[in-house]
Amino acid sequence: MSLLLARRSPVTALAVCAAALALTAPAAAAPEPAVAPAALLPYQDASLPVPDRVTDLLSRMSLDDKLGQMTQIEKDALVPQSDLAAYRIGSVLSGGDSTVSPNNAQTWADTYDSLQRTALATPLGIPVIYGIDAVHGHNAVRGATLFPHDIALGATRDPALVQRIGRAVAEEVSGTGIDWDFAPCLCVARDDRWGRTYESYGETPELPSALTTFITGLQGDALGAGPASVLATAKHYLGDGGTAGGVDQGDTKVSEAELRAVHLPPFKEAVRRGVGAVMLSYSSWNGVRSHADRYLVTDVLKGELGFTGFVVSDWAAVDQLDGRSGFTGAEIRTAVDAGVDMVMVPHDYKKFLTLLRGEVTAGRIAVSRIDDANRRILTKKFQLGLFEHPLTDRSYTATVGSAAHRELARQAVRASQVLLKNDGGVLPLPKSAKLFVAGKSADDIGNQSGGWTVGWQGRSGPVTDGTTILQGIRAAVTDPSRVTYDRYGNGVDSSYRAAVAVVGETPYAEGRGDRPGGLGLDQEDLSTLARLKASGVPVVVVLVSGRPLDVSARLPDWKALLAAWLPGTEGGGVSDVLFGDHAPTGRLPVSWPRTSAQEPVNDGDGKDPLFPYGYGLTYSGTGPAPAPGTCTARMRTTSSWPGGHQAEVTVENTGSVALTGWSVDWELGGSRINSLWNGSLGTADGRVTVRNAAFNGSLAPGATASFGFTADGSAGTPAPHCAGS
């Protein structure tokens, strides 16, 4: 069996036979009885090249078949479910608040398989492709691993780590059957008042461009070329992070030169990586909606950049083009002619299909445009192996919320922490100290996970499984009884070594998250902080937020400030840094404003922020944290045997300037290195550090070097960190 076919469970014999034999059945007909087919049709032959299979299938499709492939509908809008087959629907999605009951991986997989079997009962047996917003893990599923949101991953400056996260997300998504992720968001956030700032990796095009490695993690080196390959989506094309005033779905009023310099590069890199889908933005560019902009979608994206995947609209965005509720034929024609291949309807699919059919039969939308859209969509379905293996690969279901994925998320949390202030070296905290913990986000998994967490806007409280920051603190100290917690700071006195205040934003997503009136702390946070200050105890602030907040007036009251962003379910990663198990290495992916009135403030604009882009302290002194983004390290096990293994590490200069040296370090995890070549070895406190040899320390941008070693013990899943010099 080829790797192309290895990612999903095989279709049942009944479905195969129905697809092969019922080629002339009417839209509402039941599938034919199961009878062994005499021979495969060309499009069913996995040994043929994908373009040949697509051509053959297109030749057999009616207009209704083709229009159905261009239609994506919300799962819960399917009433009855048989409409999926009757209307030849090509794609289903779960929106931000769409769920299953009970909400667990098994139910999601069962739901997916039920829908897929319905689709396979159509005459041609074309499988659906199912999309979902798994934007920081498989966040619709209770119990899934939730990673830090994108702004935190931008602070890591670690493309290799982000790729590993993409792979973990692909496994968890695959375990529920779903084959299409509406991620990553490649917006370049230029105004922190925008409610989607946390969905951006950072304010410069270089950061999201570098972290398109998430796409490779989701899809693999090539779509469908290995197990658990999930279609990635580059969104939102184009310029949604640059709207005037940071208004969601607003207008990006910039020149074409600025649009190309700031907002286009991440999409160009995504196309180079082979991203399968691109989702358009609700926003406009100089008054023209993205969903109506043929120049940007067809001429630039598909033509100039050479994008060969398919373009999908955002939720009901086509219905917004004329500013009135309800689809019109003119709106649909405008969007399809602009280059939209699949329309996220998401509810009134009957009206949408009627209008789309009318535009085509009247000649207002060319059949060639319909065929082009279908060719793009079907190509991805074939590449994913959906025709051969359309059902859930249950071998991945157990990976949802697995210990290995949670450990990876914890690593991402600690790598994303940005230390902004540390007067007197109050951090790291002694594990034996008597500590007071306060703040509304100290013991709240919902707050620390943010929006898009078991619901579109997210919510406070125990919304899913994980470790809160307070639980992480108690697990880290030598005596948990010496940690006192009160949300509001009541009961603090001078007997405590320090007071840790975990404050910041409560969950939100697009629209509701816009803050044009300012980015200050809320009244509860201010009152809590005032109580802690009055005690005279040194105050350490852990800021849980999806963007920089206006803190400059309060900063003198605090001994330390740690930007924890929205860390997700693994709060232990925050305590790893607070207590010095790992020194902070995160660097700001955005400029931190002095006041809300300074927004927008961005690197290179001549303004003087409170903390500049790229700022971050560490514990090794008062200087800045090392720059892990200048190089990356990839480790692979080349051989293993009982009690030992051999591995190779490749170091790559991912920066824009030459390196004169590099080092890589990781936790030994009980292993012991016996021999090492092409580098110098040092070990201390359970960690190993490898520095370059004399002959391989100088690396030009894009160049690589490697070293290898043998070791006792299990290879495990080491996570190298690379610091260039």
Gyration radius from the chain CA atoms? 26
Query: What DSSP letter does each residue of 307-355 carry, written as one string?
Result: --SEEE--TT-GGGTTSSSS--HHHHHHHHHHT--BEE--S-HHHHHHH
Q: Which residues is 687 bridged to in the sheet?
A: 667, 684
Cβ neighbour number for residue 129 with a 10 Å cutoff: 28
Helix or strand or coil: residue 174? helix
Query: What DSSP letter does each residue of 17-58 carry, written as one string?
Result: HHHHH-TT--TTPPPPP----SS--GGG-TTS-HHHHHHHHH
Cβ neighbour number for residue 243 with a 10 Å cutoff: 25
**Are 721 and 688 within 8 A, CB to CB?**
no
CA 723 to CA 660: how far, in whole Å?
11
How many CA atoms within 13 Å lie on the side-chain side of 240?
27
Helix or strand or coil: residue 268? helix
Cis status, amide bond into 238, omega within 30 of 0: yes
CA 279 to CA 370: how far, in whole Å?
18
CA 319 to CA 321: how far, in whole Å?
6
The answer to whether residue 557 is catalytic is no
Each as own residue / partner, the long-range contacts of residues 75-81 (CB below 8 Å, 24 or more positions apart, any chain) are 75/111, 75/115, 77/345, 77/346, 77/347, 77/349, 78/115, 81/114, 81/115, 81/118
- Sheet containing strand 704-712, strands side by side: 631-641, 644-653, 704-712, 672-677
CA 263 to CA 242: how far, in whole Å?
8
CA 277 to CA 614: how far, in whole Å?
31
CA 193 to CA 196: how far, in whole Å?
9
Q: What are phi and psi of 430, to 5 degrees?
A: -70, 140
- Strands 284-285 vs 71-74: parallel, antiparallel or unpaired: unpaired
Choice among 181, 293, 314, 359 that is catalytic: 314
| Amino acid in position 77 | A
The answer to whether residue 97 is catalytic is no
CA 473 to CA 462: how far, in whole Å?
18
Q: Which of 195, 218, 203 lies closest to 277, judged by CA?
A: 218
Choice among 74, 133, 293, 510 that is catalytic: 510
Helix or strand or coil: residue 706? strand
CA 351 to CA 197: how far, in whole Å?
35
Helix or strand or coil: residue 565? strand
Q: What are phi and psi of 594, to 5 degrees?
A: -70, -40
Place of tokens 């890199």: 269
Cβ neighbour number for residue 685 with a 10 Å cutoff: 7
Catalytic residue IDs: 314, 510
